[in-house]
């Protein structure tokens, strides 16, 4: 299994040939996700057992059964949820990271990889206007980033309150109803409660936050506020400057969830909407979303990383050695993880190869397409735009349709391999939603999709 024998040679040829072909797909086809489990069971039967199999036979099952049963999130026709669109350079380098088993736990073991990752984190921090002290690490996704950041926020609140007043206290976090589900999940895991702030027009504002705090019976139990820089469902950027000011006044931890929309920091046309993000105590953005990295990759930044380190550092005799030299940067100290792959490296490689301007242009392409789509919807009598797009998401309704009709429309588009565009909901109503992210999604495709609503 670990030596280079004829089986290894044959696998190198066939697996790399498959990977090469996949990389050369232009465009990537959509494929289908959902399959009958019995059908999948039958196709995979007997492969996992005590004995070996010919690698080409196993790869054949993968290519003929497993791969086609996965919708390609990196297809320009994938327009649901939040898509992915990793660059070719990032995909290639991801293979290298895997082949070389590059981990990124501690400076002692992986200084080179960590230094390159940290340069990317610095680039993002600079775009956000965070201070020179800012730093953090890459984690697996926005959920992991939100969890790691809010654990720090809770700890800071406890320390501020002191042991006497924090015993048995239930901490709370101010959020709007449009915050991502991973925030609710984090609060549940951390045994904290949400303080729901009424958000005018789905946008959390400083005014709304202040009103909620002033009306609250127990403001001392509020540990943090979470603002979103690009809500998942509608791409709305909260009033970051207003929220930051109120957070400062009440000494709340200010966390910004930019898992989806944080990439807009690189788009000059929308950069001003993010004003105030520079005050964040913690901030996340998922490069596996709109910064064109492969799964799974989220950047987690803290304004003062030493605080995060004091919360997340794992203490064990066998780990003392990685903490022996003060000043060395150990990514493991900045989130709840220990072992981690150096998942920031594909982004570092790709940014270096193409240059940051190419990223800005690719992000702008999705924003432009969202505006063109909104204009097109406005020209059609049977359609109605729900709100002007801020980023790459467009919400709209087909007048007169019920949810069954939206579902039939979406199912047929997938069956015909035109697009993956599952319906969403807005204020309780089923609606249609484009999530643009791939720079090669075309207006022609949009028109084809809209025409099918006639």
Ligand X SMILES: Cc1ncc(COP(=O)(O)O)c(C=O)c1O
Residue ranges in contact with ligand X by CB under 6 A: 82, 141-143, 180, 182, 228, 232, 257, 259-260, 286, 298
State CA 337 to chain mean position distance: 17
Indicate the residue among 182 and 205 with the shorter CB distance to ligand X.
182
Rounded to the nearest whole angstrom, what is the least distance from the CB of residue 124 to ligand X in the complex? Answer: 16
Rounded to the nearest whole angstrom, what is the least distance from the CB of residue 266 to ligand X in the complex? Answer: 17
Rounded to the nearest whole angstrom, what is the least distance from the CB of residue 283 to ligand X in the complex? Answer: 12
Indicate the residue among 124 and 322 with the shorter CB distance to ligand X.
124
Rounded to the nearest whole angstrom, what is the least distance from the CB of residue 94 to ligand X in the complex? Answer: 16
Handedness of CA 206, 210, 211, 212 (dihedral sign): positive
The 3-state DSSP composition of the chain as helix, strand, coil percent (nearest 5) reads 50, 15, 35
Rounded to the nearest whole angstrom, what is the least distance from the CB of residue 143 to ligand X in the complex? Answer: 3
Q: How far apart are CA 82 and CA 77, in angstroms?
A: 12
274-290: burial string, b at 16+ Cβ within 10 Å, e else: bebbbbbbbbbbbbbbb
Q: What's the Cα-to-Cα distance from 358 to each of 121, 126, 291, rounded to whole Å?
A: 18, 18, 11
Q: How far apart are CA 430 and CA 435, in angstroms?
A: 16
Rounded to the nearest whole angstrom, what is the least distance from the CB of residue 414 to ligand X in the complex? Answer: 20
Indicate the residue among 219 and 422 with the shorter CB distance to ligand X.
422
Residue 257 falls in which region: left (phi positive, over 0), alpha (psi -120 to 50) or beta: beta
Q: How far apart are CA 176 and CA 202, in angstroms?
A: 8
Indicate the residue among 183 and 213 with the shorter CB distance to ligand X.
183
Indicate the residue among 155 and 286 with the shorter CB distance to ligand X.
286
Q: What's the Cα-to-Cα distance from 92 to each of 48, 207, 285, 425, rounded to whole Å?
A: 29, 47, 22, 37
Determine the 3-state secondary structure of 253 from DSSP. strand
Indicate the residue among 107 and 436 with the shorter CB distance to ligand X.
436
Indicate the residue among 59 and 297 with the shorter CB distance to ligand X.
297
Indicate the residue among 130 and 299 with the shorter CB distance to ligand X.
299
Phi and psi of 168, rounded to 5°? 70, 5
**193 CB-near residues (< 8 Å, 6+ apart):** 170, 171, 172, 173, 187
Indicate the residue among 59 and 192 with the shorter CB distance to ligand X.
192
Q: How far apart are CA 434 and CA 419, in angstroms?
A: 10
Rounded to the nearest whole angstrom, what is the least distance from the CB of residue 262 to ligand X in the complex? Answer: 9
Handedness of CA 53, 59, 63, 67 (dihedral sign): positive
Rounded to the nearest whole angstrom, what is the least distance from the CB of residue 297 to ligand X in the complex? Answer: 9
Q: DSSP assignment of 4-48, as one string?
A: --HHHHHHHHHHHHHHHHHHH-SSPP-------HHHHHHHHTTSS
Rounded to the nearest whole angstrom, what is the least distance from the CB of residue 23 to ligand X in the complex? Answer: 23
């Amino acid at each position: 299994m670990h030596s280079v024998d004829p089986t290894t040679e044959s696998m190198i040829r066939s697996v790399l040939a498959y990977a090469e072909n996949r990389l050369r797909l232009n465009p990537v086809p959509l494929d289908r996700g959902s399959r009958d489990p019995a059908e999948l069971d039958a196709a995979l039967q007997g492969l996992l057992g005590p004995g070996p199999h010919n690698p080409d036979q196993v790869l054949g099952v993968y290519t003929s059964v497993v791969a086609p049963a996965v919708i390609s999130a990196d297809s320009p026709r994938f327009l649901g949820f939040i898509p992915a669109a990793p660059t070719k350079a990032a995909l290639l380098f991801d293979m290298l990271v895997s082949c070389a088993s590059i981990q990124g736990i501690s400076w002692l073991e992986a200084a080179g990889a960590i230094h390159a990752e940290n340069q990317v984190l610095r680039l993002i921090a600079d775009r956000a206007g965070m201070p020179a002290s800012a730093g953090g690490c890459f984690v697996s996704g926005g959920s992991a980033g939100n969890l790691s950041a809010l654990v720090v926020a809770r700890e800071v609140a406890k320390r501020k309150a002191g042991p006497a007043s924090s015993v048995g206290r239930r901490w709370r976090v101010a959020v709007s109803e449009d915050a991502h589900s991973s925030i609710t999940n984090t609060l549940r895991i951390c045994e904290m409660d949400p303080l729901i702030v009424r958000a005018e027009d789905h946008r959390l504002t400083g005014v709304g936050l202040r009103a909620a705090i002033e009306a609250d019976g127990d403001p001392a139990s509020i540990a943090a506020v979470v603002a979103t820089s690009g809500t998942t469902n509608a791409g709305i950027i909260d009033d970051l400057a207003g929220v930051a000011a109120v957070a400062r006044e009440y000494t709340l931890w200010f966390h910004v969830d930019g898992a989806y929309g944080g990439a807009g920091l690189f788009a000059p046309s929308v950069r001003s909407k993010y004003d105030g993000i520079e005050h964040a105590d913690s901030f996340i953005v998922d490069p596996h979303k709109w910064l064109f990295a492969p799964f799974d990759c989220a950047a987690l930044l803290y304004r003062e990383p030493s605080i995060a380190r004091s919360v997340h550092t794992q203490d064990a005799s066998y780990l003392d050695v990685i903490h022996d030299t003060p000043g060395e940067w150990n990514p493991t100290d900045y989130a709840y993880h220990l072992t981690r792959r150096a998942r920031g490296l594909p982004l570092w490689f790709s940014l270096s190869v193409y240059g940051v301007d190419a990223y800005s242009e690719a992000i702008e392409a999705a924003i432009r397409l969202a505006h063109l789509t909104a204009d097109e919807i406005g020209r059609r009598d049977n359609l109605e735009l729900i709100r002007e797009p801020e980023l790459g998401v467009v919400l709209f309704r087909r007048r007169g349709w019920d949810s069954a009709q939206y579902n039939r429309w979406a199912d047929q588009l997938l069956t015909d391999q035109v697009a993956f565009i599952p319906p969403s909901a807005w204020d309780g109503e089923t609606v249609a939603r484009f999530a643009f992210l791939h720079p090669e999604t075309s207006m022609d495709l949009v028109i084809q999709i809209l025409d099918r609503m006639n």
